[in-house]
Amino acid sequence: MSHEDPKDPSRKKGGFWGWLKGGAEEPAKAPAAEEPATSAPSAPPAEEPPAPPAEVAEAPMPVEPDAIPVVEPEAPVPPEPVFVPEAVVEPEPPPSPEPERPSGSEPTAPAPTPARGFWSRLASGLARTASSLGQGITDLVSKRKLDAETLEELEDVLIRADLGVATAARIVEAVGKGRHDKMIAPEEVKGLIAAEVEAILAPVARPLMVDAAHKPFVVLMVGVNGSGKTTTIGKLAAQWVGEGKKVVLAAGDTFRAAAIEQLKVWGQRTGATVIAREQGADAAGVAHDAVTQAREEGADILLVDTAGRLQNRAELMAELEKVVRVIRKLEPGAPHAVLLVLDATVGQNALSQVEAFTRIAGVTGLVMTKLDGTARGGILVAIAAKHSLPIHLIGVGEGADDLQPFAARDFARAIAGLE
């Protein structure tokens, strides 16, 4: 028993800690279970049940007192309601309506955006033409007086830009007038070019008007392969349907299955009715069906696609004549508009296309596509100067809004490289 006395001091020590802590360590009885073996010999003293809590103190060591205060910080968990101010932050959104007040000006901002957007696309599309023309002018007149030789070289620069011989001569005359043997700034020359080009284009810049007296108003689209006829039809359909008009499309390009499918897609996209037959069918037959259907539906506009054909292929041009005859037989006075779609990238070849299609189909107006990314945009000026046909629309991209009414001043300034 005396061997147990040395252990008693340790237990007393534990008792001292127990006395120091008071009864607070009683909840720590769980760890006491870890040393039941040590507490077994001390079982005889019945009055020392408080000893077990003392043993508990040995396991946790003085660190446990620290743990107790740690539990107390857990109480601060209630401060979590501090997040309530976040709810208060939510009311801060109401200040957002304040910016809504300037919204009155916001509608004004978006309105000019489309115009600037199209001008940007037009200027970008004609950038290659303007760059080629502008660089030639700058190199020519920057350090030279306007003598006969300089004016002759200027004429060559203008002709290379596809503006045409007549237009080039007209511009050179305007530039040289009163400026012989004088220095002239490149920007001044560009301004004179823009003024002359605008004077040529202004009389032929006319929007495509739909005459409501004709129902349906029949529009026949003609042109060579790859000029963009089918795409132009789709874009026009989108614009007219958007204006509330009822539109019918005739898939008259029966040579290409892709053209038929493309027109069907445009029909689904715009809600326009599409009249089509199988590939290889008679184009005049498709035109007949389309006119009949358009009249039955009370359509406002009928757009008739045709197969692309070279102006020098007599048999294909004869087929086009047949389509025109069939339409005219069913609807006297139709087609009411015959639009020749020209690819700007073909340059001078476009002049012969205008002559041939006007002779066969009676072209009433022009649509020029693919002006974006070509250095030959000047051809439109040459066509206007020679044929004086109305220019209704120009295309500077693939989007439906990239087909826009032709504006002479914008085109003239873009081609001259002016902002």
Q: Please report, in range form, the residues annotated as the binding site.
A: 223-230, 305-309, 369-372
Each as own residue / partner, the long-range contacts of residues 326-332 (CB below 8 Å, 24 or more positions apart, any chain) are 326/284, 326/287, 326/288, 326/291, 327/218, 327/220, 327/287, 327/291, 330/288, 330/291, 330/292, 331/214, 331/216, 331/218, 331/291, 331/295
The single-letter code of the amino acid at 369 is T
Tokens standing for residue 363: 């072209």
Residue pair 236/337 in contact (Cβ under 8 Å)? The answer is no
d(CA 399, CA 120): 14
Burial 78-117 (b: 16+ CB within 10 A, else e): eeeeeeeeeeeeeeeeeeeeeeeeeeeeeeeeeeeeeeee
Q: What is the DSSP letter of 228?
A: -
Q: What is the DSSP letter of 391?
A: E
Phi, psi of 216 (to 5 degrees): -85, 155
Q: Which residues contribute to the annotated binding site for GTP?
A: 223-230, 305-309, 369-372
Q: What is the CA radius of gyration of the chain?
A: 44
Residue pair 226/262 in contact (Cβ under 8 Å)? The answer is no
Give Cβ neighbours of residue 132 (< 8 Å, ≥ 6 apart). 160, 161, 375
Phi, psi of 373 (to 5 degrees): 80, 20
